Structure 1
Amino acid sequence: MTEGPDDAVSGRSPKLYQRALAVVASEIRSGGWHDAARLNETAIAKRFGISRAPARQALAELEALGLVRKSEGRGYQVVAGAESAGGDPIELASSAGPDDMQLHFLASWELIYRQVELEIVSRTSIANWRINEVALAKSFGVSRTVAREVVARLQQRGIVSKDDAGRWHAPALTARHVNQLYELRWTLEPLALEQAFANLPDDLLPALFTDLRQAIDAGDAVDGAILDAVELQLHGQLLGYCDNAPLMQAISLPQAILVAHHRLYQPKTPPITDEPFLLEHVEVFERLMAGRVADAGAALANHLKISRERAMLRIANAARGLSLPNVAYLERLRDVEFSL
């Protein structure tokens, strides 16, 4: 997060170093960093999107608070026992906006989760993997508690599972598994759409349809963020009005796994020609706005069946050219070939 020129002039945002100071101090006091974990200006600057000067000031303040000490080499080390130390919480400037406060209260596991997810997901199209919690904590300089929370969140999303011996595994993403996930989606999502329809606000469908038409009109200029937002409007926002909690829970698992892979592979693979997903969304919306809910469900199921083929091509293309470095907390168990 960086300050824009207006924020810098008006003073609406706190000083840059205060953001880093507040977050890292909170993490150390809550046990999010293990004893003697190393910190340096470069890492702090990169993590918070700031220059080295405010990163240096944040580290100096942490040292003054007794939370870190200068190491024998370069950088700083977390002080033994600092995670259980008291001390008043470090508050950001009173003029901080919602984004700043969100950063201040960010849980320790959230700060590393996305990177861990991508490192694991990126490798499941080529092999099965075992996850070592101790090595995961050491790799990121966090406590075992934080590492365990990250793995638990991965389990909730269906990305990892635990065997009978209590060891964590990331199973390979096979073509059979992708087929099964999409079969779940095209069976369950039309039912959720039907149940959600009666709960939709009157102005929601026209508003979302306008966004969809704008994405189509943008043509080749439309970017990935807009496409992801349009996809979420149908499969997340609209379906979210379904008040059948067990049904929505059943839908969330295949969605979560496939979205994780989509985020990794979609920007890195060549576009699939004649990809019609925006027009497929139009068919669903037009039927909903006409009150033809059953037809809209059929169009949604058809869209998901076509999406399965696109996902299979993307993952297969990525897997063939994938060359990734070793990760200390992942043990390679068995190679697989993602074949269509």
Structure 2
Amino acid sequence: MKTVGCDFRWCDTSGGRDMTEEPSDAVPGRSPKLYQRALAVVASEIRSGGWHDAARLNETAIAKRFGISRAPARQALMELEALGLVRKSGGRGYQVVAGVGSASHEAGSPAYLPTQEDIQLHFLASWELIYRQVEMNIVSRTSIASWRINEVALAKSFGVSRTVAREVVARLQQRGIVSKDDAGRWHAPALTARHVSQLYELRWTLEPLALEQAFRRLPESLLPVLMRDLESAIEAGDAADGAMLDAVEQQLHGQLLGHCDNAPLMQAISLPQAILVAHHRLYQPKAPFIEDEPFLLEHAEVFERLMAGRIEDAGAALASHLKISRDRAMLRIANAARNLSPPNVPYLERLGDAEFNL
């Protein structure tokens, strides 16, 4: 059976797009523009009566409120004007047109109804709009070199404020992807074989313990349900797509372990998982499939032992599975390091080259 390697899979979920290419200001998978959040929120507020007639709006106020630069703020105001929700004032800025969309509003005037995506964007913090793409741009390059991150250039590249750029980098630090040197500069260290091995060593040491503690808290019906999903993926063989395989992996390493109520233990597990997950997204279009990787069968061994109540044996099977996963992951990273040639991005400065020696 041909599958892709558990915990560090490289299945192409990008629709053929190079995942390392420099985007505009989009969030991967949804591609919203930064101005759309401001547009959705303000338009909804105007239509619901949250702004009185002739209230003034300008680029500076919009930019400050949503943590964006003046360019996307200007775009949001232009879109609001096109929709008939604001009009240019005699001086600088715009005035709100009250009553838009109400029964008394002129028939045929533009009306704005936020889409589901608009509503989702409403509740996203500004840093969330760009985080995934910044993460991708950085970790996709760490197999070939170490990098310095320039906050000012990052903010300018995505049209956001320095505060938003700083929040993005802080989140990357929480996930162990970047660190700060003594001079206060941000670095993304090169990925090495030793580091990958250490991350997996943490996982095969800690995850069996979390599995044992989670088992005592599992809902009675959960294991049979997860086992059926796993069996469906095994039966699908080569027809199992990336989404199915990702779901199966998440069920073991996320959903099942998530029943462990030892918060410090789960926090310790989350760091190596987060770093490896971040890396496995990036090389998806770059690495070939590896023949006969039985990660689904490895998962099955864990579940079969759990369902038989053999908790210690299940933990041993999980540890064995993660040790094999480490070897597969390292082969893929080494392959990516040889073949990856990402384009330059303005906020990353290349430092020392990586040497991923197995």
Q: Shorter-chain TM-score: which interval?
A: 0.7 to 0.9
Specify the alignment match of 2:207 in structure 1. 189
Q: Flag structure 2 segments of 5+ consecutive residues without an equivalent.
A: 1-34, 45-61, 102-111
Q: 1:264 aligned to 2:299?
A: no
Specify the alignment match of 2:86 in structure 1. 64
Q: Count the aligned residue pairs.
A: 295
Q: 1:273 aligned to 2:291?
A: yes
CA shift at 1:319, angstroms? 1.0
CA shift at 1:267, angstroms? 4.2
Q: 2:88 & 2:357 partners in 1: Cα distance?
A: 55
SS of residue paired to 2:195: helix
Q: 1:287 aligned to 2:305?
A: yes
The one of 155, 165, 170 aligned to 2:188: 170
Q: 2:42 & 2:226 partners in 1: Cα distance?
A: 39
- Normalising to structure 2: TM-score of the pair? 0.74
Please give the residue correspondences for 1:244-259 in structure 2 after superposition, counting only pairs within 5 Å: 244-259=262-277
Q: 1:239 & 1:62 partners in 2: Cα distance?
A: 51
Amino-acid identity (%): 75
Specify the alignment match of 2:18 in structure 1. none
Specify the alignment match of 1:131 in structure 2. 149
Q: 2:155 & 2:84 partners in 1: Cα distance?
A: 22
CA shift at 1:60, angstroms? 2.8
Asked whether the equivalents of residues 129 and 170 of structure 1 are also in contact (C-alpha less than 8 Å), the reply is yes
CA shift at 1:19, angstroms? 7.3
Asked whether the equivalents of residues 178 and 187 of structure 2 are also in contact (C-alpha less than 8 Å), the reply is yes
Q: 1:337 & 1:137 partners in 2: Cα distance?
A: 30
Q: 1:158 aligned to 2:193?
A: no
Identify the structure with bigger relative contact order (alpha carbons < 8 Å, sequence gap 6+): 2
CA shift at 1:62, angstroms? 9.3
SS of residue paired to 1:130: strand
CA shift at 1:87, angstroms? 11
Counterpart of 1:119, as a letter, is N
- Larger CA Rg, structure 1 vs 2: 2
CA shift at 1:63, angstroms? 8.7
Deviates more, 1:274-283 or 1:330-339: 330-339
Counterpart of 1:264, as a letter, is L
- Normalising to structure 1: TM-score of the pair? 0.78
Please give the residue correspondences for 1:307-318 in structure 2 after superposition, counting only pairs within 5 Å: 307-318=325-336
Q: 1:325 & 1:123 partners in 2: Cα distance?
A: 10
Counterpart of 2:255, as a letter, is Q
SS of residue paired to 2:146: strand
Q: 1:28 aligned to 2:63?
A: yes
Structure number having the greater helix percentage: 1
Q: Flag structure 1 segments of 5+ consecutive residues without an equivalent.
A: 1-16, 45-54, 68-78
Q: 1:301 & 1:114 partners in 2: Cα distance?
A: 30
